[in-house]
Structures are given as structure tokens and as C-alpha cells.
Amino acid sequence: MTVRADACTWDVIDEGPRDAAQSMLLLPGGMCSAGMFTELMAEPVLSRTRRVAVTLPGHAGTEPPGDFSTEEYARLASDLASKLAVGVVVGFSMGAMVAYEMAVSGAYKGPLVLLGSSLSSADEPALFRIIIRLGSVLGTLPAALLKKAAAALAGQAKISADRQGELKADFARNDPRVMRQWLRSYMRWLRRDDNPAQRLCDAGNRAWVVHSEKGDGALTRHERAVLEACDHVKVITLPGRTFFLPIEESAAIARVITEALAPAH
């Protein structure tokens, strides 16, 4: 289904009771659709919660926005979160950074669960940064290569062959011309030098920052130290190697979300 909010059309998966006492907004990563959260939304512990997953505009073949900046994505997502009156925002990868920007901009005051987040360019794999830089010289070719790389990662994920096929189909729907635009905007945002971990702490939102030991990016030593010292931010490192946290670690993530939905002590 689609939902219209602030002149933006969102592809949406909406599950759970419409009159639920608690609700959440789920923002997937780059190239991904709302279907990224299928396993997470099916976790029994969340069954009484309204679960709304969306595809970021311009990803997985959806209609692009007029502005690809992370700030604009955050503004659009904040408007949607307000319209839905959600109690927690959950973001994965690029979606996590949209959720982060929602908080640090002051547009969203509720709890956050940030999965596989990259607060700065140093948190992203070197190959990813190189591919984006090459886009200024080689046009859409690097974006096309990134699509193939994402499909290869899906093939290594600890999920069924059918589920791997669904992810690969999502990646295939991305237009390299559109990808080139949002990749460049995203990297500009990551390269800002504004002490992002401290900005998250200063925003005041309760936040859970979740990574696996390997596979989904990382935090710099400084970022981790700042966040671990912040009394309303919890840093969680799951054991092992994981590429797609909402899918491969859905039970663990669901437990984190229930903690985020609980009243603050």
C-alpha cells in the first residue's frame, strides 16, 4: 500500500492493530524496501504493536524525492512519524541515519533503535567510500557495481534461498542514475565534521545503537566512547558476523525494541 504525507508518497507495510497502544516506524537501508523488516515484524513479542515499515523514496524502484539529502529524508520521515503517532523509530543502515537526523534536528523526540548505523564516513567500509567517489568520474557504473555487491552480500546472509532471492529482487529494482544521486548526498552528510556521537547524546532521545561484531559497519573509538558515556544511550554489540540485522537477528532486535517501547525509568 502507499501513504501520502507532506507531498511524499511512501510504500508502506502496515501490520498489527490500528488501535494498538504502541506503534513503531521502521526505516530500511539504502536500496532496500520495507520488506527488509519482514522477519522483525513477525516476531511474536511485537504482535500487539502496530508495525509500520516504509521504503525510503527513491530506493528499490520507488518514486524519488525532490531532494536526496539526509536532512530532507529526516524531515519527510518525521512528518510521517507524527502522522502515525509512533512510539519508537527503528532504522537500519542508511535508514538508521535518517532516524538519527530526525532526533538531532529536534523534529522527533521519542526513542530510537539504530541498527548498523554509520555516524561518519569512517564507519563505512573503504570499498563503499571508493565506489561513491568513482561515481563522479565513471557516472552510473559504480552504482551498478554496488547493486551487484549488495546481491552478493544477500547470497551470504544466514537466510533461506527464497529470502535471499527477495532481497536480490529489491536491489535489482534500483536505478543506478537515482542511486548515484542519493549516494553522493549520503556521503556528503557522512563527511560533515560535527561530532555526531555527541550530537546524538545532546539531542536527549533515548537511543539503542546496535551493531554486530562484524559485517554491518562499526563505530569509531571516539564515537563508541562518547555514546557509552551517555546515560540515555545504550550501545549493543551482537556476537558474530551479520550483514542484515533486522533479518538475521530479528529476535534480538525485537527484544531491544520492546525495551525502547517501555516507559523510561
Does 15 or 153 have the greater pLDDT score? 15
pLDDT at 263: 85
* Cα–Cα distance measured from residue 145 to residue 161, given in angstroms and rounded to the nearest whole number: 22
Letter for the amino acid at 73? Y
189: confidence class by pLDDT, cuts 50, 70, 90 = confident
pLDDT at position 154? 85
Strands (DSSP E) found in 6-146: 8-15, 23-27, 50-55, 88-92, 112-115
pLDDT, position 51 = 97
Q: What is the pLDDT of residue 180?
A: 87
Helix axes 176-190 and 94-104, enclosed angle (nearest 10) = 50
Which residues neighbour 132 within 8 Å (Cβ) at sequence distance 6 or greater? 142, 183, 184, 186, 187
- 12 strand-pairing partners: 54
Which is more confident, 138 or 149? 149
pLDDT in tens, 66-125: 899 999 999 999 999 999 999 999 999 999 999 999 999 999 999 999 999 988 877 666
The model's pLDDT over 157-179, given as tens digits with 9 standing for 90+, comes to 888 999 999 999 999 999 999 98
Superfamily of domain 2-119+194-261: Alpha/Beta hydrolase fold, catalytic domain (3.40.50.1820)
| CA dihedral of 151, 155, 161, 165, whole degrees rounded to 10 | 0
Interacting residues of 238 by C-beta distance below 8 A, sequence separation 6+: 210, 211, 212, 213, 245, 249, 252
Q: Is the pLDDT of residue 61 over 90?
A: yes
Q: Which of 234, 208, 9, 202 is CA-nearest to residue 89? A: 208
Express each pLDDT in 195-243 by its tens digit: 999 999 999 999 999 999 886 677 889 999 999 999 999 999 999 888 8
Report the pLDDT value the prediction gives residue 132, as an integer from 0 to 100.
Answer: 62
- Alpha carbon 250 to its chain centroid, in Å, reads 14
- Where do the DSSP E strands lie in the chain? 2-5, 8-15, 23-27, 50-55, 88-92, 112-115, 207-214, 233-241
Is the pLDDT score of 254 beyond 70?
yes
pLDDT score at 186: 87
- The residue with greater pLDDT, 188 or 255, is 255
Q: What is the pLDDT of residues 18-59, one digit of tens each?
A: 999 999 999 999 999 999 999 999 999 999 999 999 999 999
Position with higher pLDDT, 6 vs 225? 225
Domain positions in the chain are 2-119+194-261
Rounded to an integer, what is the distance from CA 33 to the centroid of its chain? 11
pTM of the model: 0.92
